[in-house]
Amino acid sequence: MRNDEIASVFDEIADMLELGGENFFRVRAYRNAARTVRDYPEQVTALSREKLDEIPGIGADLADKIATLAATGDLPMRAELKRSFPTGLLDLRNVGGLGPKRIRLLAERLHIRNREDLRRAAEAGQLRTIRGFGPKLEERIVKSLAHTVDEAGQRMQYPEAALVANNLVAYLRGCPQVKQVEVAGSFRRRRDTVGDLDVLVAASEAEPVIRRFLKFPGVTNELGAGDTKATVVVGDKLQIDLRVVPCSSWGAALVYFTGSKAHSVHIRRIAQTYGLLLNEYGLFRSERAIAGAEERDIYKALGMDWVPPELREDRGEVEAALDHRLPALLQRSDLRGDLHTHSTWSDGRATIREMARRAAASGLEYFAVTDHSQRLAMVHGLDSGRLREQAREIEAVGAKVSGIKVLSGIEVDILEDGTLDLPDGVLEELDWVVASVHSKLEQEPSAMTRRLVRAIRNPNVDVIGHPSGRLIGRREASGFDLREVLRVAHEEGCALEVNAQPDRLDLIDTACMAAKRAGVKLVISSDAHHPRDFAALEYGVNQARRGWIEPSDVLNTRPLKELSQRG
């Protein structure tokens, strides 16, 4: 068990003791122990019993508990305490404005045992009958309850969040006290979805910044405002946390609020090994700040290269930054082509010519028209006859639109048994073949693995489209055996797609990492159904960057000539 995990156990025990009305000193002993362990420079589970006893604030009893935690991962005491409370009661700790003391009052006076009880009592105006529960607190509780419920499981997709983020950044820059603005958190790490936005501002003075923030157009709810921070809801669900810091802490705060938590915890441990303290205010030796204003300087002072936010998930990036072997990540400008697009020949909304013009304007050198195959009758999937007709149009457009080479391709359906929806003789004639699963996605994992493997074995298939079939928030990824699929893809020289549609982003980041390790090439594709969809390539690049992908791992970074000469 890591120090932070042990610390959370102690914190939870302290909460439960307090909830049960245990005396102050006993509660405080666990809180202090939590803090001590969390900040301890070495892993406490690796210490000898003597060394453990020597840590200030850790007596024999707590040392025993740490030993038990290390050995079993839990404490009988914690399990026992947990059983003594209704689960709904412990969950109230996640409601804004409520700590153990107040929850205890609610339970004693109003017999509240869970969120539902709390909501009813609040709506009936009963909370303010308890001393210390003013109308303001009541309002905060009601808001927090409403918010946590409709937010549950509802993360916002990146592009929608980006729209708000970009407007807000521009808006905040209009405040003369603002020196720096960045949207940190999962947004800066370019996760496919964000829970909320964490906006960080460096300013000469906080108050005017907070005031302006609260007046941001689109704010529908103010969840709280203090001297240096505030929280609002924009639209019907996006929460935004603002934090204002002095310029001297900008870099440190940026590291802290960019996270991920696991990354921050890891680099804080690195700092401790140098006898330094890293927190959101700066990097300190004793009391003296040795870095803080710039993110780069903090990493540098720790002997690390600056880590791109997309990598900050504690998936090996800390070690790589210490060894100066971080990857040179793919960028949007590295992409020379797009190898999965649709037109009005199937379910696209624009003609090949319109798509070609926009592809050229998007800085691409080539793109492949890959409409659906016959099996998808609903979207007028192409049979071999219409495919031949389409090839003539592609040639004509290619001759007319300058600056772009149009390839003739197909997104051929992978049928249930892994055979393809068009004969090999037809596929052979094409410049580019994407093979995708669009039906029977709920197949058993073993059947899906066999299906994909069979498609990959077909020498005409260049790439597997949206391999997992997931649709964010709507459909789970199909559970095939990724290792086996990667093994065969490597053998056959078949690529896998990173579909850039914001609700697909398929492959996901960790699968990109696995593909790279297996020596399988990727293709970043827009799957554009409209000219504006070429812009989605950016989201695919984000996902690939989170998967440590470099330009050489991606086929469509290659000039067309190299692409067609490939093995």
Q: Is there binding between residue 186 and ligand DGT (CB under 6 A)?
A: yes
CA distance 431 to 337: 13
Position of minimal CB gap to Zn ion: 436
Task: Name the minimum Å distance from CB 267 to ligand DGT.
Answer: 10
Burial of 423 (0-12, 13-18, 19+ CB in 10 A): exposed
Q: For residues 138 and 241, which CB has a smaller minimum distance to Ca ion in the complex?
A: 241
CA distance 245 to 255: 13
Task: Name the minimum Å distance from CB 242 to Zn ion.
Answer: 40
Task: Name the minimum Å distance from CB 185 to ligand DGT.
Answer: 3
- What tokens appear for 248 in the block? 């001297």
**Choice from 12, 182, 192, 198 touching ligand DGT (CB under 6 A):** 198
**Considering only residues 265-304, where is the footprint of ligand DGT by CB under 6 A?**
265
CA distance 101 to 94: 14
**Choice from 3, 249, 264, 526 touching ligand DGT (CB under 6 A):** 264
Q: For residues 149 and 396, which CB has a smaller minimum distance to Ca ion in the complex?
A: 149
* Contact in structure between 317 and 263 (CB atoms under 8 Å): yes
**Choice from 38, 69, 127, 185 touching ligand DGT (CB under 6 A):** 185
Task: Name the minimum Å distance from CB 120 to ligand DGT.
Answer: 29
Q: Which does 327 bind (CB under 5 to 8 A by kind): ligand DGT, Ca ion, Zn ion, none?
A: none
Q: For residues 193 and 346, which CB has a smaller minimum distance to ligand DGT in the complex?
A: 193
Question: What H or E segment, with its residue span, contains residue 360?
Answer: helix 352-361
Residue closest to 2 by CA, chosen among 276, 261, 310: 261
Task: Name the minimum Å distance from CB 499 to Zn ion.
Answer: 8
The dihedral of CA 545, 240, 210, 248: what is its sign?
negative
Q: For residues 238 and 382, which CB has a smaller minimum distance to ligand DGT in the complex?
A: 238
3-class secondary structure per residue, 168-235: HHHHHHCCCCEEEEEECHHHHCCCCEECCEEEEEEECCCHHHHHHHHCCCCEEEEEEECCCEEEEEEC
* Contact in structure between 194 and 155 (CB atoms under 8 Å): yes
Q: For residues 126 and 260, which CB has a smaller minimum distance to Ca ion in the complex?
A: 260
Q: Is there binding between residue 406 and ligand DGT (CB under 6 A)?
A: no
Q: For residues 129 and 154, which CB has a smaller minimum distance to Ca ion in the complex?
A: 154
- What tokens appear for 335 in the block? 């992409």
Region binding ligand DGT by CB under 6 A among candidate stretches 215-223, 260-268, 320-328, 359-367: 260-268
Q: Is there binding between residue 478 and Zn ion (CB under 5 A)?
A: no
Q: For residues 100 and 465, which CB has a smaller minimum distance to Zn ion in the complex?
A: 465
Region binding ligand DGT by CB under 6 A among candidate stretches 79-87, 186-194, 206-214, 228-236: 186-194
Region binding ligand DGT by CB under 6 A among candidate stretches 16-24, 170-178, 187-195, 511-519: 187-195
CA distance 322 to 74: 33
Burial per residue of 188-212, b for 16 or more beta-carbon CB atoms within 10 angstroms, e otherwise: bbbbbbbbbbbbbbbbeebeebbeb
Per-position x/- string for 220-259, each x denoting binding to ligand DGT as judged by CB under 6 A, each - no binding: ------------------------------------xx-x
Q: Which does 257 bind (CB under 5 to 8 A by kind): ligand DGT, Ca ion, Zn ion, none?
A: ligand DGT
Q: For residues 309 and 409, which CB has a smaller minimum distance to ligand DGT in the complex?
A: 309
Region binding Zn ion by CB under 5 A among candidate stretches 82-90, 175-183, 318-326, 431-439: 431-439
Tell me which residues touch Ca ion (CB under 5 A): 185-186, 196, 198, 241
Write the CA distances from 220 to 95, 156, 195, 237, 326, integer angstroms: 20, 17, 17, 9, 42
Task: Name the minimum Å distance from CB 35 to Ca ion.
Answer: 22
Burial per residue of 375-408, b for 16 or more beta-carbon CB atoms within 10 angstroms, e otherwise: bbeeeebbeeeebeebbebbeebbeebeebbbbb
Quick one: residue 399, left, alpha or beta (phi over 0 = left, psi -120 to 50 = alpha)?
alpha
* Contact in structure between 477 and 513 (CB atoms under 8 Å): no
Task: Name the minimum Å distance from CB 67 to ligand DGT.
Answer: 25
Question: What H or E segment, with its residue span, contains residue 546?
Answer: helix 537-546
**Choice from 264, 436, 449, 478 touching Zn ion (CB under 5 A):** 436
Contacts of 131 (CB under 8 A, 6+ apart): none
Q: For residues 154 and 564, which CB has a smaller minimum distance to ligand DGT in the complex?
A: 154
* Contact in structure between 504 and 527 (CB atoms under 8 Å): yes
Region binding ligand DGT by CB under 6 A among candidate stretches 42-50, 214-222, 261-269, 449-457: 261-269
Q: For residues 282 and 348, which CB has a smaller minimum distance to Zn ion in the complex?
A: 348
Q: How many residues bind Zn ion (CB under 5 A)?
A: 1
Q: For residues 252 and 515, which CB has a smaller minimum distance to ligand DGT in the complex?
A: 252
Task: Name the minimum Å distance from CB 191 to ligand DGT.
Answer: 6
- What tokens appear for 452 in the block? 């994909």
Q: Which does 38 bind (CB under 5 to 8 A by kind): Zn ion, ligand DGT, Ca ion, none?
A: none
Q: For residues 235 and 559, which CB has a smaller minimum distance to ligand DGT in the complex?
A: 235
Q: Order of strands across the sheet with 366-372?
A: 337-341, 366-372, 405-413, 432-436, 463-464, 495-499, 522-525
Cα three-residue angle 4-19-224, rounded to 5 degrees = 70
Strand partners, 239: 233
Residue closest to 299 by CA, chosen among 186, 185, 311: 311
Task: Name the minimum Å distance from CB 193 to ligand DGT.
Answer: 7
* Contact in structure between 375 and 413 (CB atoms under 8 Å): yes
Interface contacts to ligand DGT, rule CB under 6 A: 185-186, 191, 194-196, 198, 256-257, 259-261, 264-265
Binding stretches for Zn ion (CB under 5 A): 436
